[in-house]
Structure 1
Amino acid sequence: SFRCIKHSEVKKALNILQPGYTPSRFALAGHLLNEVFQEEKIKCSEKLYGELVCMSIDGWSNIHNEPIVCATVTVDRGNCICMTALTPLVIHITSEHLTALDSDTIKSCEKEFKCHVASFVTHNAANMAKMRKALEETENTS
């Protein structure tokens, strides 16, 4: 939530850093966030271009008990970049959902950042194990 920008201590801190600067939560959630996102995306693209990467995924539930799946990529030098964090439209994440989600995430990563996903790491839950097997079979038949 960007409402915290109105908190008195946040205002004090911003005033120390940049006297007279008082951004609104709408500016933070809008054009400022978009600008920083684009800058960081360019940095990620530069780090990942042409690299062999390791992708990892994990899932958990948010405070509303909705599933969240997060994919990260790590390059040889240990730089870790969050690819995606999303709330799938399904309540129970099956291996089939994970297979489709992860296949799309791998393709998106390779297309957008011009890197190659060389390895894939998950934990050993039953749905993850089944998904890894399905991804391996898909890779072997392509």
Structure 2
Amino acid sequence: MSVGAWEPQVSGPQNETSEEFNREQLLRLIEIAESDKPFTESVGAFEKVPSTLIRLPFQHWIEESEHWNSAQLWQLIRFFTLAEMKLPGWDAGAESAVIPLAKVLKQRSTPLTKEQLLWIRQNSNNRYLPYGPL
């Protein structure tokens, strides 16, 4: 009789942060942010998206942003701003995905406009948005 080594499949947060999963989910979130429907009507569209997505490490968002254009990043910023305010468990504070995404836009020489900054302020009570703790 031989004894082999059993290696369990990895599940949980590691799988949820795979590039393929995130891009598919992020595309859905971008579509939600772009739609004219009120945010709360779209809740069913992202029920399976883990709330931990908004709190992924800063570097993850910097790397992930390479796959998206500036308009798409703005839509992600809009989505995460609204999600934090309207969905239970999506609060992120200084860990919000909005912060690295706004930094990427600034690095691309397409910083948030005055109108965008005002929109974030009007739709969030997170004092760290959009640029993080100072």
Say whether the fold is shared (TM-score over 0.5): no
- Greater share of residues in helix: 2
**TM-score, scaled relative to structure 1:** 0.33
Report the structure number with the largest CA radius of gyration.
Answer: 1
**TM-score, scaled relative to structure 2:** 0.34
- Greater share of residues in strand: 1
